[in-house]
Chains A and B, each alone.
Chain A
């Protein structure tokens, strides 16, 4: 931890001294996490790269205010999340309310658990890896923006709950609860999709 912290401090110092190479390194080290957030939260392909650029320009402009109270990547992810939220609010404010349609989810769970569960499987001979990926992508993308962002941060980016909490500003308990609900919904949607398409 100490080593990485020192390395980050050196990098930030170099950037503040005006080194383009140091800033290029910062971008390359963090473009994956920024990309993950931007691509999950924004659906418009025209906006995505511009917003990602805006995020790094904000990072550059505000770097002198970074206090090393969190990892640099967490700070950058927080800027990414906030920027995307503001962009969404500006363009389609109702998009952020899409979690509401799952509000009576708790009742759904108890009801659903009474029903005998279907176990979905995608046999290799029927569904190829690329088909599997397409189906899963579709189902993930149909989830509320907040949920799919949390799933990405937790599963693809392997971030811890406290880091996700810092990035999104949500309490850790809420992050856990949303993740649980998102995975449960995803599983149910996949089951219903497979039944409908008669893949099983």
Chain B
């Protein structure tokens, strides 16, 4: 009985559900009990695999994920001020010291130094602070995300 179908051919027929066709393989299959038996084996394996479901994730899974994302965001906000506030405190102290020195110097050497001049200096320093904070926040968020979630995705 050298004409038996190979296992590969039988799997292909079972997979394609091609019992109805008139190919040479099918004609053999219909007349050979041994091959038909193997075919039946594969059909039952295919059916079992199709319905082989362990289940899986709980009903409230989506809520748990969203909760975790929100917790992570809160944690981010909580961790964020520690770094930024420290920077703000230092920056504020430096700005205050510069301002004091500036005012002192100007008043002592130039009596025409007005409140308007003082406001201009303050505005420049405030803009510089905002830019600094913006860069610090963005940088922090990027580093935070990379560290936690981008470790192994290559798509």
Asked if A120 and B50 sit within 8 Å, CB to CB, the answer is: no
Question: CB distance A184 to B49 under 8 Å?
Answer: no
Contacts of A158 in B (CB 8 A): 50
- Does A13 lie at the interface of the complex (its beta carbon under 8 Å from any beta carbon of B)? no
Evaluate contact between B54 and A39: CB separation under 8 angstroms. yes
* Residue among A52, A79, A113, A190 making CB contact with B57, cutoff 8 Å: A52
Q: Which residues of A contact B68 (CB under 8 A)?
A: 53, 57
Nearest chain A CB to B14 CB, angstrom units: 9
Residue on B nearest A151 in the bound complex, by CB: B49
Could you tell me if B152 and A27 are in contact, using CB atoms closer than 8 angstroms?
A: no
A119 interface neighbour in B41, B58, B69, B72, Cβ under 8 Å: B41
Contact B34 A113 (CB under 8 A): no
- Chain A window 29-63, contacts with chain B (Cβ cutoff 8 Å), 1 for yes, 0 for no: 00110111001000000000100110011101110
Q: Assuming A132-B48, A155-B49, A186-B45, is B153 touching A58 (CB within 8 A)?
A: yes
Interface size on B, residues (CB 8 A): 42
Query: Could you say which residues of chain A place their CB within 8 Å of the CB of B65?
Result: 27, 53, 56-57, 60
B104 contacts A by Cβ under 8 Å: no
Smallest beta-carbon distance A189→chain B, Å? 11
Cα separation A137 to B4 with both chains bound (whole Å) = 30
Count A interface residues, CB 8 Å.
52
**Would you call A91 an interface residue if the criterion is a C-beta within 8 Å of the partner chain's C-beta atoms?**
no
Interface residue? B21 (CB, 8 A): no
Asked if B40 contacts A57 (CB within 8 A), the reply is no
> Whole-angstrom distance between the alpha carbons of A120 and B48 in the complex?
14
Query: In the complex, which of the residues A32, A82, A119, A122 has the most CB atoms of chain B within 10 Å of its own CB atom?
Result: A119
Report yes or no: B34 in contact with A117, Cβ–Cβ below 8 A: yes
Residues on B with beta carbons closer than 8 Å to the beta carbon of A6? none
- Chain A residues with CB under 8 Å of B72's CB are 57
CA distance A134 to B78 in the complex (A): 49
Residue contact B69 to A60, C-beta cutoff 8 Å: yes
Interface residues of B in 134-152 (CB under 8 A from A): 145, 149-152
B53 within 8 A of A: yes
Residues of B within 8 A of A130 (CB): none
A-contacting residues, B24-71, CB 8 Å: 34, 37-38, 40-42, 44-46, 48-58, 61-66, 68-69
Q: Cβ of A36 and Cβ of B56 under 8 Å apart?
A: yes
Q: Does B7 interact with chain A (Cβ within 8 Å)?
A: yes
Given known A49-B57, A184-B7, contact A137–B38 (CB-CB < 8 A) = no
B45's partner among A58, A60, A183 (CB-CB below 8 A) is: A183
Question: Does A136 touch B at the CB level, under 8 Å?
Answer: yes
Instruction: For residue B66, give the distance in angstroms from its CB to the closest CB of chain A.
Output: 6
Closest to B50 in A: A155
**B155–A79 contact, CB under 8 A?**
yes
Interface residues of B in 94-124 (CB under 8 A from A): none
Within 8 A of B (CB), among A115-174: 116-117, 119-122, 132-133, 136-137, 140, 151-152, 155-156, 158
**Sample (23) of A-B pairs whose CB atoms are under 8 Å apart:** A27-B62, A31-B62, A32-B56, A34-B57, A36-B56, A49-B57, A52-B57, A57-B65, A58-B149, A62-B149, A83-B152, A117-B38, A119-B34, A133-B52, A136-B49, A137-B52, A137-B54, A152-B49, A155-B49, A180-B8, A187-B41, A187-B42, A190-B41
Known: A31-B61, A39-B54, A86-B152. 4 other contacts (CB 8 A): A49-B57, A57-B149, A119-B34, A136-B48
